[in-house]
Structure 1
């Protein structure tokens, strides 16, 4: 036995263990999705009443879906909340959209904050800062502009805010959208993203994304306010981390976050994925190794070699069976998360799934080769640990 043989033996064992772990994640996600998601929220009598919620809506630009998305926040079944529209540019067309909704729903407390504040490098926090300072309620809901709400979504999130819970977040998903880009988005968020998100929540691992987050305001203030997270672009991750570090728990609500941006293009979607890769690599360097290996085709090829080396099994047959079972598990998970009829047929799902799986390693490599992040009109450079600085032109 040569040193090379021992190295290859150890590598093959590693691939087998990692492969087995990914299948555990698959099964956990499917079972947890069935148990956790899409429970009907009810307005239950509480001795102290339901706590008030300040909704922070950072806006920039007015895409075709902005009005309908924002309108869902005015029609929620929750007893006490206010909406703070945060808009950096005083000439932004989003202001007119917000004013139209204020006129249509005068009974809902809402305010518009313009100009923002320069408290750090993170443009989202700069935009929300004035709206946050003016909040009047003990709970803060930070919600991206492209999110739609159901009537009971806020109620569902508040009902999950138990005594030991500091933060409730929604699992990212998408509304039904037409075209191949809409299919690709739904396949990604309902399979690859959901698999990790649900398993991480079950295992109490920080997987928080900040597109729809309900958090206790006093815990943010104890940490130094929103500005304490303004040195990061991934402020959502570090916000959740600070809660966990202080002994609190975070949890996912039973309703996913329904993304409905007016921009639905493959190029735009892939740019988002690359931006998130760059953030994960900067925050968690082990992402460089484990994320590419977590993809179906890469992991299948590596494990096929491992079983050939260890057991002399047919690697092509193994890889085909691995891919087929992975595919069916993804279909099951997506169907559970959708909870209704999918907006595309099985053939469309096959095409979307194959394209996403095949393109993922390329998108990961492309993100590494261009580490700077472009966000709106700004460009940022990431340092290890997730701290960012703006690149001045």
Structure 2
């Protein structure tokens, strides 16, 4: 067994050898040499941490994802009010919404919120209500302006009418497994106040969908899983189950209406009040019928703009968690510290990163990937090489376009709608259509 003194001796010898190596290459150490040495050590340390994050994400993903209902299900689960904000008709809208009418959960209601009374989504909802008359359902049309965020303006009537103690906010493009709501509800307890699903992509055809699947199963999944494991807020609001009384304590949904990243700040409100925020065992399967590479990239650029405005420090550190950028600077670092061949190191770095990402993608998928290894390779390269381009675009044009509106972001995540004629103190004309029925 190696004692502490031996380890200290080895460590000292390592750094002395590193300094001597730098001196032998560059001669007498100048102040700039100490700066370069410190920078090289910092970069090498970041490179080492990234591998730990990779292993952590794979291990946590295998333990957490799809290992449902480990805890015994209580005899009585609290009722859930599901808020579904809808805008327009997607080719998969009927299929996605229908999954919420087939949930295996004892007591829930679905509150559809539609901003425009001429929106064709109303007909889709009405056809589902007729098909499943025993499901408690309400439709709210018109919304009410309580701030700048159009999603909250659309949801506010449904939120105020929610009759149950748990609120599930779920985007229109989410396809739900029949037992996922039960799994999420079981996770809530006297310590956990919010459960959210990690974003992923439903199985769809086409290369554009595969590229999205690669991103959400590798880059995004690694940071999302690690952040949740370490207790860092990483919430996206496409599918979140939360306790309504905590939201009310934080000021209700209206308290977040001036922010575009309301999901992140809503989760932070739970954390600030001592509640834990956890991910579900099932991923949030995004199943939009409209998808393309350009649409996906525009979405990632919008998310980058939001992170820059809401959490600027984290955004500044993001490049060191990217394969190509980190590999390039780490190649210089090991060349400087150890006199290793930079190109060989870079190629090995990329290869190992790719293999670990492939393993992680299979973990998130829960089985074989629905596309070929070549498609994974091309999608992986495309995602990894476009990151700096997304950052450049986000800084070049900080204006965010969302749901047909343009917004200027301010530090802290607050936003201002450009060319808006809205008066935030006025209310939109709204209509309530309520269709009540007996429970099954």
Q: Which residue of 2 aligns with 1:5?
A: 33
Q: Which stretches of structure 1, 4 residues or longer, exceed 6 Å deviation after superposition? A: none
Aligned counterparts of 1:39 and 1:312: Cα–Cα separation in 2: 46
Q: Residues 301-331 of structure 1, C-alpha deviation per residue, up to 9 Å, x if partnerless?
A: 0000000011110010111111101000000
Q: How far 1:22 moved relative to its partner?
A: 1.1
Of residues 138, 150, 167, the one that matches 1:111 is 138
Of 92, 110, 124, 1:97 maps to: 124
**Residue-pair matches, total:** 392
Select 2:250's aligned residue among 220, 223, 232.
223
- For residues 43-82 of structure 1, the aligned pairs below 5 Å read 44=72, 46=74, 49-82=76-109
- Alignment of structure 1 residues 127-146 onto 2, 5 Å: 127-146=154-173
Relative to 1, partners in 2 of residues 1:288 and 1:32: Cα closer, same or farther, differing over 3 Å?
closer
- CA offset digits 1:107-165 (Å, max 9, x no partner): 00111101011001111111000000000000000000000001101011001112201
Q: Name which one, 1 or 2, has greater alpha-carbon Rg.
A: 2
SS of the equivalent of 1:367 reads helix
Q: Is the 8 A contact 1:43 1:155 kept in 2?
A: no
Equivalent residue runs for 1:162-201 within 5 Å:
162-201=189-228
- C-alpha contact 1:42 1:155 (8 A) present in aligned 2: no
CA distance in 2, matches of 1:262, 1:42: 34
Structure with more contact order per residue of length (Cα contacts < 8 Å, sep ≥ 6): 2
Q: Distance in 2 between matches of 1:355 and 1:167?
A: 34
**What is the aligned partner in structure 2 of residue 20 from structure 1?**
48
The question of 1:369 aligning with 2:377 is answered no
Structure 2: segments with no counterpart, 5+ residues: 1-28, 421-440
Distance between the aligned counterparts of 2:315 and 2:274, measured in 1? 29
Cα shift at 1:341 = 2.4
2: distance between equivalents of 1:277 and 1:159?
33
Report the TM-score when normalising by structure 2: 0.87
The CA deviation at 1:43 is 9.8
Whether 2:102 is the aligned partner of 1:35: answer no
Q: CA deviation at 1:250?
A: 0.5
Please report the TM-score for the alignment, with normalisation by the length of structure 1. 0.98
1:333 aligns with 2:360: yes
SS at match of 2:312: coil
> In 2, Cα distance between the equivalents of 1:120 and 1:51?
30
Shift of 1:365: 1.2
Alignment partner of 1:385: what SS? Answer: coil
Asked if structure 2 preserves the Cα contact closer than 8 Å seen for 1:175 and 1:259, the reply is yes
Match of 2:287 among 248, 260, 282: 260
Deviation at 1:262, TM superposition (A): 1.2
2:20: which partner in 1?
A: none
Q: In the alignment, is residue 286 of structure 1 matched against residue 323 of structure 2? A: no
CA distance in 2, matches of 1:355, 1:206: 27
The CA distance in 2 between the partners of 1:242 and 1:280, in whole Å, is 17
Distance in 1 between residues matched to 2:326 and 2:274, nearest whole Å: 35
User: What is the CA distance between 1:6 and its match in structure 2?
Assistant: 1.7
In 1, are the aligned partners of 2:210 and 2:371 still within 8 Å (CA)?
Answer: yes
Shift of 1:288: 4.2
Q: CA deviation at 1:89?
A: 0.5
- 1:160 is the counterpart of 2:206: no
Partner secondary structure for residue 145 of structure 1 = coil
Does structure 1 conserve the Cα–Cα contact (< 8 Å) formed by 2:73 and 2:186?
no
Structure 1 CA distance, aligned partners of 2:34 and 2:387?
31
Among candidates 64, 83, 101, match of residue 110 of structure 2: 83
Which position in structure 1 is the counterpart of 2:270? 243
8 Å CA contact 1:142–1:211 kept in 2: the answer is yes
User: What is the DSSP-based 3-state SS (H/G/I as helix, E as strand, rest coil) of the residue aligned with 2:100?
Assistant: coil
Give 1:40 deviation, angstroms.
Answer: 3.3
**1:37-83 CA distance string (max 9 Å, x none):** 10234895535x11000000000000100000000000010000000
Long gaps (5+) in structure 1? none
1:73 match: secondary structure: helix
What's the offset of the Cα at 1:287? Answer: 3.4
Match of 2:151 in 1: 124
